[in-house]
Amino acid sequence: MNNIQKYIFLKKFYLAVFILLILLYLNCYIEVIDKYCSINNNQTNVYIVGEQSRQARMWLNCSSKDLTKGRNGKLNAIVINGSDIYFAGYEDSVAKVWKNEKSTYLKTDNNYYSEASAIFINGNDVYVTGYEGTEAKLWKNGMDIKLEGVIQGYGLQSYSRALFVKDTNIFVVGNIENKATLWKNGKLLNLTNGLINTYATSILVKDTSVYIAINDSKNAKIWINGVTTLLETELQNDSNYIGESSYVNSLFIKGNDLYAVGYIYFGKPSKNVATIWKNGKGALLSNFDRSSVANSIYVIDDDVYVVGYKNYYGVAFAIGGSLNAATVWKNGKEIALFDAFSNAKSIFVTNK
C-alpha cells in the first residue's frame, strides 16, 4: 500500500468513525426524549396537526398519521365543520388544503414557495390565508382574492397568518414590511406605525369586538377595537426569573374569557417557556429545564388544551439544527410528548 492509498484509507476510516460517533450521539440523545401519551379520549377526540421529520402529521388522541406519505410537508391549521375535517399547510413547497385527508393545491403562480397558514369554514365556503414568496395571500374556495397593498416581486414583504369570517366580512391579519396589518374584505388597515418591526398572528371576532394578537421585538400584545394591552411577563416571584420579552401565537374566546398562548423569554436561564394568558394574566406551562413554545389553544367545557413543542439541546451540535418534540398540555399539565423532530401547530377538540 503506497502513501496515497494509505491516505485515502485513513481518510475514509476517520470519516466512518466520525459518522458512527454522531449516530451514537444522536441515538443516545433521542432516547432522552421519553415520549408518552396520556390523552384520555373517553369523552373527547383531540385532533392535533403539525409536522414530524418534515412531513405533514396529524395526531388523533394518541395515534398519528403522515398525510403527505413521506413527502415534505407541514400542517399549520385544522378546523372541523360537521363531519368534515379540514387542514391547511403545504406539500412539496406548494400551499395546500385537505378535506377528510384528500388534498387540493391552492391557486398560485408556481414560481415561489407557498404555504397555507390558517383556514376558516363559513357555510359552504372555504377560506384560507397564507403566503406565496413574500406575498400575503387569501383564497376563497381555492381561488385567489386580492389583498390591498400586497405586491409580489417588488421587494415589499407581506405575510398573512390568520383569518376570521363573520357574516359577510372577511378579516385577515399579518404584516406588510414591519407594520402589523388587518385586511377587512381586502381593504388594508395598518395596526402599527412601523417604527419597530411588528406583526399580527391571530384574530377573533365576537359580536362587535375584534381581537388581534400582535408581537414586536419585545412585547406580546392584544389589540381590541383599536386599544392595545400588553400581556403580563413578570410571573415569577424570584427576581432571577423575570421575563424579558414575550410572544403570542394564538387566541381563543370561551364565554367572557380571552385566552392567549405563546411564550415568555427569560434572560438568566436563557430559555423560552411556553405560556398561557387568561384575560391578560399569565401562567407558565413548562419549567426552565428546556425551552418550550405554545402554538395553539382549544377550550371545551371546562378543559383547556394547549399544543406546541419542547426543545432538546445538544443535538444541534451534531446535525446543525435543533430537536423539538411536539407537546400537549391540558389544564396546565403536560399530558403528551410525541416523537422527536416534531412540532404541534394547531388543535381542535370535539365531544364524542
Give residue-wise pLDDT tens across range 287-344: 888 899 999 999 999 999 999 999 876 444 344 445 889 999 999 999 999 988 899 9
pLDDT, tens digit, for every residue of 249-294? 999 999 999 999 999 998 877 889 999 999 999 999 998 888 999 9
The domains of the chain are located at 1-31, 36-65+231-352, 72-198
Strand 187-190 relative to strand 179-184, pairing: antiparallel
113-117's contacts with Cβ under 8 Å and 24+ in sequence apart are 114/90, 115/74, 115/76, 115/89, 115/90, 116/76, 116/77, 116/88, 116/89, 116/90, 117/76, 117/77, 117/88, 117/159, 117/160, 117/161, 117/162
CA 49/CA 69 separation, integer angstroms: 15
CA 144/CA 89 separation, integer angstroms: 16
pLDDT at 156: 79
pLDDT at 319: 43
CA 287/CA 290 separation, integer angstroms: 7
pLDDT, tens digit, for every residue of 40-92? 778 899 999 999 989 999 999 999 999 988 899 999 999 999 999 999 999 99
Instruction: Output phi, psi for 315, to 5 deg.
Output: -65, -20
Average pLDDT, the chain: 88
Amino acid, res. 133: G
pLDDT at 169: 97
CA 307/CA 272 separation, integer angstroms: 15
CA 49/CA 98 separation, integer angstroms: 12
CA 285/CA 305 separation, integer angstroms: 11
pLDDT at 24: 54
* Contact between residue 324 and residue 330 where contact means Cβ atoms under 8 Å apart: no
* CATH superfamily of the domain spanning 72-198: YVTN repeat-like/Quinoprotein amine dehydrogenase (2.130.10.10)
pLDDT at 351: 93
* Cell of residue 158, nine digits: 407581506
Neighbours of 242 (CB within 10 A): 15
pLDDT, tens digit, for every residue of 184-227? 999 999 999 989 999 999 999 999 999 999 999 889 999 999 99
Please report where in the chains the cell 405575510 appears, as a residue: 159
Neighbours of 134 (CB within 10 A): 18
Q: What's this model's pTM, rounded to 2 decimal places?
A: 0.88
pLDDT for 243 beyond 60: yes
* Cell of residue 201, nine digits: 398572528
Closest among 89, 92, 85, 105 to 51, alpha carbons compared: 89
Residue 3 CA, distance from chain mean position? 55
* Cell of residue 252, nine digits: 381563543
pLDDT at 25: 53
pLDDT, tens digit, for every residue of 15-37? 777 766 655 555 544 445 568 89
